[in-house]
Amino acid sequence: MTLHDAYDPDNIFAKILAGEMPSIKVMEDDIALAFMDVFPQAEGHTLVIPKAVQARNFLDFPTEKVGAYMERVQLVARAVEKAMTPDGLVVTQFNGAPAGQTVFHLHFHIIPRWTGQNLRGHAGGQMADMGELESIAQKIRPFVA
Ligand code: 5GP
Protein backbone atom coordinates (compact mmCIF):
# COMPACT_ATOMS: atom_id res chain seq x y z
CA MET A 1 0.00 0.00 0.00
CA THR A 2 3.01 2.31 0.34
CA LEU A 3 2.70 3.26 -3.32
CA HIS A 4 -0.43 5.36 -2.78
CA ASP A 5 -0.38 6.28 0.91
CA ALA A 6 -0.70 9.92 1.93
CA TYR A 7 2.50 11.95 2.10
CA ASP A 8 3.96 11.92 5.61
CA PRO A 9 5.31 15.42 6.37
CA ASP A 10 7.48 13.92 9.14
CA ASN A 11 9.56 11.73 6.79
CA ILE A 12 13.35 12.08 7.09
CA PHE A 13 13.82 14.01 3.87
CA ALA A 14 11.05 16.48 4.79
CA LYS A 15 12.92 17.06 8.04
CA ILE A 16 16.16 17.61 6.13
CA LEU A 17 14.38 20.12 3.88
CA ALA A 18 12.96 21.87 6.95
CA GLY A 19 16.43 22.05 8.50
CA GLU A 20 15.32 19.82 11.37
CA MET A 21 17.80 17.07 10.43
CA PRO A 22 21.40 17.59 9.30
CA SER A 23 22.64 16.65 5.84
CA ILE A 24 25.82 17.06 3.84
CA LYS A 25 24.63 19.14 0.90
CA VAL A 26 26.21 19.36 -2.51
CA MET A 27 23.61 21.47 -4.34
CA GLU A 28 20.55 23.48 -3.39
CA ASP A 29 18.29 25.89 -5.23
CA ASP A 30 14.56 26.60 -5.18
CA ILE A 31 13.78 23.38 -7.11
CA ALA A 32 15.93 20.66 -5.54
CA LEU A 33 18.36 19.69 -2.82
CA ALA A 34 21.19 17.21 -3.33
CA PHE A 35 23.05 15.63 -0.42
CA MET A 36 25.22 12.66 0.44
CA ASP A 37 23.51 9.37 1.30
CA VAL A 38 24.53 8.41 4.85
CA PHE A 39 24.43 4.70 3.96
CA PRO A 40 26.32 4.97 0.67
CA GLN A 41 26.19 1.97 -1.64
CA ALA A 42 29.41 3.28 -3.20
CA GLU A 43 31.69 6.26 -2.64
CA GLY A 44 29.95 9.39 -3.90
CA HIS A 45 26.36 8.06 -3.52
CA THR A 46 24.24 11.21 -3.72
CA LEU A 47 20.49 11.83 -3.44
CA VAL A 48 18.52 14.53 -5.26
CA ILE A 49 15.15 15.49 -3.80
CA PRO A 50 12.57 18.01 -5.04
CA LYS A 51 11.66 20.98 -2.88
CA ALA A 52 8.33 22.70 -2.27
CA VAL A 53 6.26 19.63 -3.10
CA GLN A 54 4.71 16.76 -1.17
CA ALA A 55 5.43 13.83 -3.45
CA ARG A 56 6.06 10.32 -2.15
CA ASN A 57 7.36 9.04 -5.45
CA PHE A 58 7.73 9.70 -9.17
CA LEU A 59 4.14 8.68 -9.90
CA ASP A 60 2.52 11.34 -7.74
CA PHE A 61 5.04 14.07 -8.57
CA PRO A 62 3.37 16.95 -10.49
CA THR A 63 4.08 16.56 -14.21
CA GLU A 64 4.75 20.26 -14.71
CA LYS A 65 7.63 20.05 -12.21
CA VAL A 66 9.35 17.05 -13.81
CA GLY A 67 11.45 19.02 -16.28
CA ALA A 68 13.04 21.40 -13.79
CA TYR A 69 13.65 18.62 -11.26
CA MET A 70 15.21 16.27 -13.79
CA GLU A 71 17.52 19.06 -14.93
CA ARG A 72 18.86 19.13 -11.36
CA VAL A 73 19.17 15.34 -11.30
CA GLN A 74 21.24 15.51 -14.48
CA LEU A 75 23.32 18.44 -13.18
CA VAL A 76 24.22 16.52 -10.03
CA ALA A 77 24.81 13.26 -11.94
CA ARG A 78 27.29 15.06 -14.21
CA ALA A 79 28.97 16.65 -11.19
CA VAL A 80 29.29 13.31 -9.38
CA GLU A 81 30.78 11.76 -12.53
CA LYS A 82 33.30 14.57 -12.92
CA ALA A 83 34.26 14.53 -9.23
CA MET A 84 34.48 10.77 -8.71
CA THR A 85 35.53 9.65 -12.25
CA PRO A 86 33.78 6.26 -11.92
CA ASP A 87 33.58 3.69 -14.73
CA GLY A 88 29.79 3.93 -14.71
CA LEU A 89 26.99 5.74 -12.93
CA VAL A 90 23.63 4.44 -11.72
CA VAL A 91 20.76 6.94 -11.68
CA THR A 92 17.80 5.21 -10.07
CA GLN A 93 14.61 5.71 -8.14
CA PHE A 94 12.19 3.36 -6.33
CA ASN A 95 8.41 3.64 -6.02
CA GLY A 96 6.80 1.89 -3.03
CA ALA A 97 8.31 -0.40 -0.42
CA PRO A 98 8.03 -3.56 -2.56
CA ALA A 99 10.16 -1.77 -5.17
CA GLY A 100 12.81 -0.98 -2.55
CA GLN A 101 11.73 2.47 -1.39
CA THR A 102 12.44 3.18 2.30
CA VAL A 103 12.02 6.97 2.52
CA PHE A 104 8.76 8.30 1.16
CA HIS A 105 9.72 11.66 -0.29
CA LEU A 106 10.64 11.43 -3.98
CA HIS A 107 14.39 11.10 -4.59
CA PHE A 108 16.79 9.94 -7.25
CA HIS A 109 19.93 8.03 -6.33
CA ILE A 110 23.19 8.82 -8.13
CA ILE A 111 25.62 5.99 -7.49
CA PRO A 112 29.10 5.77 -9.02
CA ARG A 113 30.20 2.30 -10.15
CA TRP A 114 33.70 0.97 -10.64
CA THR A 115 34.52 -2.12 -12.65
CA GLY A 116 34.89 -5.14 -10.39
CA GLN A 117 33.55 -3.37 -7.31
CA ASN A 118 30.27 -4.64 -5.87
CA LEU A 119 27.60 -2.29 -4.58
CA ARG A 120 27.12 -2.20 -0.82
CA GLY A 121 23.63 -2.97 0.55
CA HIS A 122 20.74 -0.59 0.00
CA ALA A 123 19.64 1.71 2.84
CA GLY A 124 21.39 -0.07 5.66
CA GLY A 125 24.59 -1.34 7.15
CA GLN A 126 27.03 0.95 8.87
CA MET A 127 26.51 4.69 8.70
CA ALA A 128 29.27 6.49 6.81
CA ASP A 129 31.87 8.59 8.57
CA MET A 130 30.61 12.18 8.31
CA GLY A 131 34.13 13.54 7.79
CA GLU A 132 34.63 11.23 4.83
CA LEU A 133 31.23 12.21 3.36
CA GLU A 134 32.11 15.88 3.75
CA SER A 135 35.41 15.44 1.90
CA ILE A 136 33.59 13.67 -0.96
CA ALA A 137 30.99 16.46 -1.02
CA GLN A 138 33.82 18.98 -1.30
CA LYS A 139 34.96 17.24 -4.48
CA ILE A 140 31.45 17.32 -6.00
CA ARG A 141 30.42 20.89 -5.10
CA PRO A 142 32.71 22.72 -7.56
CA PHE A 143 31.07 20.87 -10.45
CA VAL A 144 27.52 22.03 -9.63
CA ALA A 145 28.51 25.64 -9.07
P1 5GP B 1 15.11 4.57 -0.86
O2 5GP B 1 15.31 3.28 -0.12
O3 5GP B 1 13.88 5.25 -0.35
O4 5GP B 1 15.18 4.46 -2.34
O5 5GP B 1 16.34 5.49 -0.49
C6 5GP B 1 16.46 6.15 0.71
C7 5GP B 1 17.92 6.46 0.87
O8 5GP B 1 18.06 7.37 1.94
C9 5GP B 1 18.77 5.23 1.23
O10 5GP B 1 19.80 5.07 0.27
C11 5GP B 1 19.30 5.53 2.62
O12 5GP B 1 20.61 5.08 2.77
C13 5GP B 1 19.20 7.02 2.69
N14 5GP B 1 18.96 7.57 4.00
C15 5GP B 1 18.17 7.06 4.98
N16 5GP B 1 18.16 7.88 6.05
C17 5GP B 1 18.95 8.92 5.73
C18 5GP B 1 19.34 10.11 6.44
O19 5GP B 1 18.93 10.37 7.57
N20 5GP B 1 20.19 10.96 5.80
C21 5GP B 1 20.67 10.71 4.54
N22 5GP B 1 21.50 11.61 4.01
N23 5GP B 1 20.33 9.60 3.86
C24 5GP B 1 19.47 8.73 4.44
* pLDDT, tens digit (0-9, with 9 covering 90-100), for 83-131: 999 999 999 999 999 999 999 999 999 999 999 999 999 988 889 999 9
Contact 72, 31 (CB under 8 A): yes
Residue 1's pLDDT band (cuts 50, 70, 90): low
Q: Is residue 116 part of a domain?
A: yes
Residue 50 lies in a domain: yes
- What CATH number should be reported for the domain holding residue 94? 3.30.428.10
Asked, for residue 7, whether it belongs to a domain, the answer is no
Q: Is the pTM of this model over 0.75?
A: yes
The closest alpha carbon to 16, from 30, 2, 33, 41, belongs to 33
Residue 15 lies in a domain: no
Q: For residue 2, name the pLDDT band (cuts at 50, 70, 90).
A: confident
Testing ligand 1's pocket by substitution, the residue of 38, 46, 129 carrying the most ligand atoms inside 8 A of its CB is: 38
pLDDT at 6 over 70: yes
Q: Which of 8, 17, 37 most suits a substitution to test ligand 1, by most atoms within 8 Å of the C-beta?
A: 37
Residue 46 forms part of a structural domain: yes
Please give the residue range of the domain that contains residue 77: 26-143
Domains of the chain: total: 1
Mean pLDDT of 13-40: 98
